[in-house]
């Protein structure tokens, strides 16, 4: 249920992008404000519009489309693009790195 406050200001989604993306390294830790009812696809568009390289990361490291995490669970973009986000959701794009 939406509170009056949430309904008026929309929702806030936490975005974390970290690791080796393409040939480089990304470390992004930001909140993104979205209207109520926004979906995962909306988040990717809005984040990119605000200079948060979500679309870039997904393009450079295709496996991230499958390993994107929403609140600790894997959430493939292709199957969940229309999923409606909620206030306080956490969306992580975490690229692996070889460990020695």
Partner 1 sequence: MPNGFHGRALVVDLSTRSHSIETIPDEVFRKFLGGYGLGAWLMWKHFPPKTDALAPEACFAIVSGLLTGVKTPFSGRIQIVGKSPLTGTWADSNSGGSVAIQLRAAGYDAVIVRGRAETPTVLVVRDDEVRFDDAAEFWGQQVPDTFDRLKAKYGGRHEVGVSAIGPAGERQSVIASVMNDRYHAFGRQGFGAIYGSKNLKAIVVGGAGTVPIAQPEEFHRICKSITQEYRRDVGWMGRMMAWVGKTKKWLAWLYRLMPRIGAKIDPGTIAMRQIWSKQGTTSALAVSIENGDGPVKNWAGVGSRDFPLKTKSSKLDGPEVDKLITKKLSCGDCPMPCKGIVSVKSRGLSDVRRPDYETLAGFGANVLNDDLSIVVACHDACNRYGMDVVSASSTLAWAAEAFEKGLATADDFDGISPRWGDGEAMLALTLKMASGEGCGAWLGQGVARASKHLARGTEDFAVHVHGQEPAYHDARFSSLMGVTFVSDPTPGRHTAGSAAWNETFAMRFPLGKAAPKEETTVAWKGEHGKGKAQAHFSNAHQTLNGLGLCMFTNLTGQLPVTPLVNALTGWSIDETDLLRCGERIQNLRAAFNWREGIVPDDFKLHRRLLGEGDGLLTEGPLRGVHVPLASLRRDYHDAMGWNHATGRLSRARADALELTELLAEYVDAGAPAAPGSTA
- The residues of the shown chain that bind partner 1, judged by CB under 8 A, are 16, 18-25, 51, 60-63, 66-67, 69, 72-74, 92, 94-100
Shortest Å distance, C-beta 92 to partner 1 = 7
CA 32 – CA 11 distance, rounded (Å): 8
31 neighbors 42 (Cβ within 8 angstroms): no
Shortest Å distance, C-beta 71 to partner 1 = 8
The DSSP secondary structure of 2-37, one letter per residue, reads: --HHHHHH-EEEEEEEEEEETTEEEEEEEEEEE-TT
Residue (36 or 92) nearer to partner 1, CB? 92
Shortest Å distance, C-beta 33 to partner 1 = 19
């Amino acid at each position: 249920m939406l509170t009056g406050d949430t309904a008026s200001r929309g929702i806030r989604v936490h975005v974390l992008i970290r690791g080796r993306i393409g040939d480089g390294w990304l470390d992004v830790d930001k909140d993104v404000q979205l209207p109520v009812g926004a979906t995962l696809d909306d988040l990717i568009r809005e984040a990119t519009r605000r200079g948060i390289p979500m679309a870039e990361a997904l393009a450079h490291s295709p496996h991230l489309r499958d390993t994107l995490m929403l609140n600790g669970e894997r959430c493939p973009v292709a199957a969940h693009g229309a999923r409606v986000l909620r206030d306080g959701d956490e969306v992580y794009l975490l690229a692996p790195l070889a460990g020695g």
